[in-house]
Structure 1
Amino acid sequence: MCSKIPSRAWVAMMLFWGTFVNYMFRSHYQISLLAMVEPRNNETVGDFGPRFDWSYEWEQHSISALFYGLTIISIPAGLFVTFFGPYNVLVYTSMLMASFSGAIVPMALYVGPGGVFAMRFLIGIMVGLQYPAMQNLVSNWATPQEKGKFVACMMGNTFGSVITMPAASLVIEELGWKWSFYFLFPTVLVFIIAMFLLVADHPRNYRWIRQEELEYIEASHGTTVSTEKKKKNPPYLKIFLSCPFYALVAGQFGNQYILFLTLTIVPQYLKRVLGFNLKASAGIAALPHLSRLIFGFFFGGINDFLIGKGVPKSYCRKGFTLFSHILTGASLCLFLAIGSSSVAAICLLVLMMAFNGAAVVTVLVNTQDLAPNWSGTLYGIMNFFGGWGGFVQPILVEKLTRENTIGQWAIVFTIGGAVGIVTGIIFILFGSTELQSWNQIEEEGQSAK
């Protein structure tokens, strides 16, 4: 390994790649679905392979299936990470995801929408386990001054959507929709190999680390992060009695609701309302995610700079919430006013997700403030509640957009905007950056002070 590159830089790179892979599985299906089902409302379609005559309701349920799996696994995900370690969780879930991306899902399509629902539900469990594992790696590897940049590296999820949406549409148009499932496999396989070489649960277990870097990381953590692997049960009772954690849960629900809206609903809106073809829909749907990626690193850098200059973390977390939630929500509400202008709609989506890039220094990093030893557990629990938006939204779209009018879709976006604004206000009022007393891992026979 190149001695001039810090070991934590390799781990940060793998966080980026891990979230990239995670969102490949979340984002490609929405594009594939448009090519798989019978067209609606006089849509212009190409011949990309066999088409299935599913009801609109079943289409939305098949999208929701992944989020059902993600939500159900989120609370016990912290236990999985604690007892098996983030490295094992990431490697073995990725192996299973790679397997599902092969022949299994396309075969399930011929069973019917129920078969697809089951496969996407299982994939949802895999992707739901991964984020708590990655939060655990951030706790173990990032110094306090670098946490904004480390969490910004988890914006690889956004880059995964940026690449996957147009790539999937290109594969579909050239080879057919079945290949949109197969093309995921090589990327996941390379990721797994890189994990074997470049990642360990903790700096102390890392084969390539230099002694001076290990000492620097551990000195920066002080007593806030355990240096040993302890298989302890998370302090669930204390977590569920924590007001700052409930504020974080509210903030994450709003953030996830907005993110799932752009991930699962926007491609349908672009094709079915604004009339873009499959390739154009995928390419344009990726633009908001690209703006979120760029501004995520921008906000992460600004946050670390301000904290390095002595600005209190609480000012940064709550100040940037004005961008990640309030302005993002306000942008969504403007869909009521733009009518049928496709240019205005696209500009609003890009602006909205640029604002939401600030989430990397608000709700996405706040688990590290409250309890870095249990960051994976906290992230899993807040994703349990945040994941509800992923299966509520398709049902909401199915109920509200039956006539497929611009006004009906504007209501869908306005609801999302209101959710973002309200949850952002809750996080500003009740959130905290103080290290919680229950962060301390209790030794046998001892009580936490």
Structure 2
Amino acid sequence: MFLGFSVVYGLRVNLSVAMVAMVNTTDPDATKNSSVIHACPLPSGAENGSQTFQQPIPQYPWDSETQGWLLGAFFFGYLCTQIPGGYLAGHYGGSIFLGLGVLGTAVLTLFTPLAAKWGSYWLFALRALEGFGEVGGSMMAMWARWAPPLERSRLTTLSGSGSSFGAFLALPLTGYICEQLGWPAVFYICGGAGCFWAVLWFAFVSDDPRTHRRISDEERDYIINSIGPQGTGHGWTLPLLSMMLSVPLWAIILTQMSANWAFYTLLTSLPTYMSDILHFDLQSVRLWFCCIGMDHVLIYFQSVSRALLIRIMLFLGKIPPQKANVQLFLVAVNYAGCDHILTVTFFTLSSSLGGTSAPGVYINQIDIAPRYAGFLLGITNTFGTIPGVLAPIVTGYFTEDHSLAGWRKVFWVAAGINLGGAIIYLLLGTADIQPWANPDEEGVRQQKRRGESIS
């Protein structure tokens, strides 16, 4: 599952860096509306801020608004399948949905160069279809059946950290592939990796320990007995009204939305910022993301060993204090100006500290309702994907003139939204199993409904 999420997020963000190589910034149509071309001084010996590539590697005259729409296109499709996908994964099991989702996205990724050649509308449609194929809730639905309560935090955090690992590994690798082989190779290699992972997934993974072909009897009995009735599917009926009125669930939703705004802003827009404002070439972008990626991943893995501490903090209704530092360093970027060292330092600290607080909110969904964890993840992912749609588009509008002032607006907005979510979670978050998620309570409700129908 860790490798699967690594592949998924690699497929999701490879366009961010490849966009630097795909766009011809010297084309007059791409910058005709720009009043400020160079916000920071060009490095010595550089004639322009663009990266040149030998033909026949194609480049396209997409302006900042078009790039913003293309970078957010994936999330338009992703929005549509999270809730129904989480519902079906909770009923049938998550392995088939996760496997087919990654396989579908990988196959479509192979057609990215062709879609770009046909035009930006075709590429937008392809990226939206890739998002449509990734149904939500699969991971939580599987861990609800596989993870014993005392190991749930460690297993969920470890597998979920694949998303950060994949995203921040893909960013430097994408730059390297663009340099050596050209940007089309990025999508062929990433798509091939996703197809290879899908073969391994279907060969080795099962929805339930009861049906796994290679598990020992001792391990199977331990998992089944420790999870108990919470490890069964939720059936076709759901306590939808109780979920809609659940304050802890809304605390998770709003916190995830706020955190994702900053996350997706950095994930999709940083390569453009580094190219257009700081005038880093692809090699510098690649080396910088290699540093931030390793730092982020190491801290995220430290969170695995601290999972029990995070759960204790959740039970106390608190959040890791690093959330406040995320906004602090994002705001600090606004005052770093054109200083490369300070900017890279602040971005690295912001991203890394964000990784230490992510497991808490992520695990919280399976804490408050283990039986409905897949469906809840579909709900929270749906709301959490809205920033993925809006953040790149808002960034594109703010940065039409390629100025530092426009990018300052981007980082101020991200920091403010993140801080608001942290406050909401501090006040309303909890890790207690909700009454509507208790199997015994559900049985009582069903008996009452049957009794009322008989009377």
| TM-score (normalizing by structure 2) | 0.87
Deviation at 1:57, TM superposition (A): 1.5
The reply on whether 1:294 has 2:298 as its aligned counterpart is yes
Is the CA contact (8 Å cut-off) linking 1:224 and 1:439 kept in structure 2?
no
Of the candidates 284, 296, 301, which is equivalent to residue 280 of structure 1?
A: 284
Deviation at 1:390, TM superposition (A): 1.2
The reply on whether 1:335 has 2:341 as its aligned counterpart is no
> Equivalents in 1 of 2:302, 2:226: separation in Å?
24
- Aligned residue for 1:387, secondary structure, equals helix
> Equivalents in 2 of 1:333, 1:306: separation in Å?
26
Of the candidates 235, 257, 264, which is equivalent to residue 260 of structure 1?
A: 264
AA aligned to 1:343 is: I
AA aligned to 1:396 is: V
> Equivalents in 1 of 2:222, 2:197: separation in Å?
28
Deviation at 1:196, TM superposition (A): 2.1
The reply on whether 1:169 has 2:169 as its aligned counterpart is no
AA aligned to 2:124 is: F
Report the equivalent of 1:98. Answer: 106
Deviation at 1:63, TM superposition (A): 0.7
> Equivalents in 2 of 1:428, 1:398: separation in Å?
32
Report the equivalent of 1:114. Answer: 121
Pairs within 5 Å for 1:338-349: 338-349=336-347
Is the CA contact (8 Å cut-off) linking 2:16 and 2:71 kept in structure 1?
yes
RMSD: 2.2
Is the CA contact (8 Å cut-off) linking 1:148 and 1:301 kept in structure 2?
no
Report the equivalent of 2:149. Answer: 144
Of the candidates 189, 193, 196, which is equivalent to residue 195 of structure 2?
A: 189
**1:196-231: CA deviations, max 9, x gaps?**
2321111111111112212222232234332xx454
The reply on whether 1:202 has 2:208 as its aligned counterpart is yes
Report the equivalent of 2:7. Answer: 21
- Aligned residue for 2:447, secondary structure, equals coil
**1:376-427: CA deviations, max 9, x gaps?**
1111111111111112112221222222222321221121111111101101
Query: Residues 361 and 203 (structure 1 numbering): CA distance in 2 closer, same or farther, change over 3 Å?
Result: same
User: Which deviates the most, 438-447 or 82-91?
Assistant: 438-447
- Aligned residue for 1:363, secondary structure, equals helix
- Aligned residue for 1:178, secondary structure, equals helix
In the alignment, structure 1 segments of 5+ residues that lack a partner are 1-14
Is the CA contact (8 Å cut-off) linking 2:310 and 2:360 kept in structure 1?
no
**Displaced runs of 4 or more, over 4 A:** 441-445
Report the equivalent of 1:72. Answer: 80
> Equivalents in 1 of 2:283, 2:156: separation in Å?
31
Report the equivalent of 1:247. Answer: 251
AA aligned to 1:426 is: I
Pick the structure with greater CA Rg: 2
Query: Residues 286 and 238 (structure 1 numbering): CA distance in 2 closer, same or farther, change over 3 Å?
Result: farther
Of the candidates 390, 393, 397, which is equivalent to residue 392 of structure 1?
A: 390
The reply on whether 1:314 has 2:321 as its aligned counterpart is no
Is the CA contact (8 Å cut-off) linking 2:11 and 2:191 kept in structure 1?
no
What is the percentage of aligned positions where both structures have the same residue? Answer: 25
Report the equivalent of 2:34. Answer: none
Pairs within 5 Å for 1:205-224: 205-224=211-230
> Equivalents in 1 of 2:447, 2:126: separation in Å?
45
Deviation at 1:83, TM superposition (A): 4.3
User: Which deviates the most, 158-167 or 269-278?
Assistant: 158-167
**1:337-374: CA deviations, max 9, x gaps?**
22221111111111112211123432111001111111
AA aligned to 1:205 is: T
Deviation at 1:22, TM superposition (A): 0.8
Deviation at 1:84, TM superposition (A): 4.2
> Equivalents in 2 of 1:429, 1:169: separation in Å?
42
- Aligned residue for 1:446, secondary structure, equals helix
AA aligned to 1:136 is: A
Is the CA contact (8 Å cut-off) linking 2:64 and 2:397 kept in structure 1?
no
Deviation at 1:305, TM superposition (A): 5.7
Is the CA contact (8 Å cut-off) linking 2:255 and 2:422 kept in structure 1?
yes
Query: Residues 233 and 32 (structure 1 numbering): CA distance in 2 closer, same or farther, change over 3 Å?
Result: farther
Report the equivalent of 1:38. Answer: 24
> Equivalents in 2 of 1:160, 1:218: separation in Å?
31
| TM-score (normalizing by structure 1) | 0.88
> Equivalents in 2 of 1:394, 1:432: separation in Å?
31
Report the equivalent of 1:417. Answer: 415
- Aligned residue for 1:209, secondary structure, equals coil
AA aligned to 2:282 is: L
Is the CA contact (8 Å cut-off) linking 1:79 and 1:234 kept in structure 2?
no
AA aligned to 1:428 is: L
Is the CA contact (8 Å cut-off) linking 1:71 and 1:388 kept in structure 2?
yes
> Equivalents in 2 of 1:279, 1:126: separation in Å?
32
> Equivalents in 2 of 1:437, 1:305: separation in Å?
24
Is the CA contact (8 Å cut-off) linking 1:331 and 1:351 kept in structure 2?
yes
> Equivalents in 1 of 2:163, 2:294: separation in Å?
10
**1:266-301: CA deviations, max 9, x gaps?**
111111111110132133234334323221221231
Report the equivalent of 1:88. Answer: 96
> Equivalents in 1 of 2:240, 2:286: separation in Å?
41
Query: Residues 446 and 337 (structure 1 numbering): CA distance in 2 closer, same or farther, change over 3 Å?
Result: same
